[in-house]
Amino acid sequence: MTTAGIGFARPLEFLKVRQLSVEDFKEAFRAGVSDFMKKPLLSGLFGLIYAIGGLFIVYGLIIAGQPWMIIPVTIGFPLIAPFVAAGLYEMSRRYKLGQSFTSGDIFSVVLRQRGREMGWMAFVVLFIFWVWIYQIRLWVAIFFGTRPFSSVEGLVDAVLHTGNGMMFIVVGSVVGTFLATILFTFTVTAMPVLMDREIDFVSAMLLSLKTVTSNLPLILVWGAFIGTLLLIAMLPAFLGLIVVLPILGHATWHLYERTIEDTSAAAAGETA
Higher per-residue confidence, 247 vs 54? 247
10 Å Cβ neighbour count for 152?
15
The yes-or-no verdict on residue 8 having pLDDT over 80 is: no
Alpha-carbon separation of residue 156 from 67, 73, 77 (angstroms): 12, 14, 19
Question: Using the 8-state DSSP alphabet, how is residue 85 labeled?
Answer: T
Q: What is the pLDDT of residue 109?
A: 84
User: For residue 270, what pLDDT band results from cuts at 50, 70 and 90?
Assistant: very low
DSSP helix/strand/coil, 17: strand
Position 257 pLDDT exceeds 90: yes
Q: Mean per-residue pLDDT for 104-129?
A: 82
Nearest by Cα to 130 from 183, 87, 174: 183
Q: How many CB atoms lie within 10 A of CB 81?
A: 22
Is residue 209 within 8 A of residue 186, CB to CB? The reply is yes
Residue 215 pLDDT greater than 50, yes or no: yes
pLDDT at 242: 93
How high is the pLDDT of residue 92? Answer: 95
Residue 9 has pLDDT above 60, yes or no: no
What is the rounded CA–CA span in Å between residue 211 and residue 181? 13
How many CA within 13 A on the CB side of residue 251?
A: 20
Cβ of 153: how many Cβ atoms within 10 Å? 11
Please report the pLDDT score of residue 83 as a whole number.
66
Give me the residues paired with residue 16 across strands.
261
Over residues 66-102, the pLDDT tens digits come to 777 777 777 777 767 666 788 999 999 999 999 999 9
Nearest by Cα to 256 from 18, 1, 3? 18
Eight-class DSSP state of 149: P
8 Å CB contact between 43 and 231 = no
Among 57-66, 97-106, 121-130, 141-150, the range of highest mean pLDDT? 97-106
Instruction: Please say whether the beta carbons of 254 and 25 come within 8 A.
Output: no
Distance CA 130, CA 99 (A): 38
Q: Mean pLDDT over residues 124-130, rounded?
A: 84
- How does the average pLDDT of the chain come out, rounded? 83
CA 30 to chain centroid: 19
pLDDT tens digits, 134-163: 888 888 888 887 766 777 777 778 777 777
For residue 245, which of 107, 52, 114, 57 has the smallest C-alpha distance? 52
pLDDT at 12: 67
Residues comprising the chain, all counted: 272
In the chain, where are the structural domains located?
20-259
Report, as an integer, the average pLDDT of 225-248: 89
Residue type, 210: K
pLDDT at 249 over 50: yes
pTM: 0.82
Question: Could you read off the pLDDT of 160-204 as tens digits, one per residue?
Answer: 777 787 888 888 888 888 888 898 899 889 989 988 888 888 889
Q: Which residue did the predictor score with more confidence, 192 or 267?
A: 192
Q: Say how far apart CA 85 and CA 50 lie, in whole Å.
A: 9
pLDDT, position 4: 37
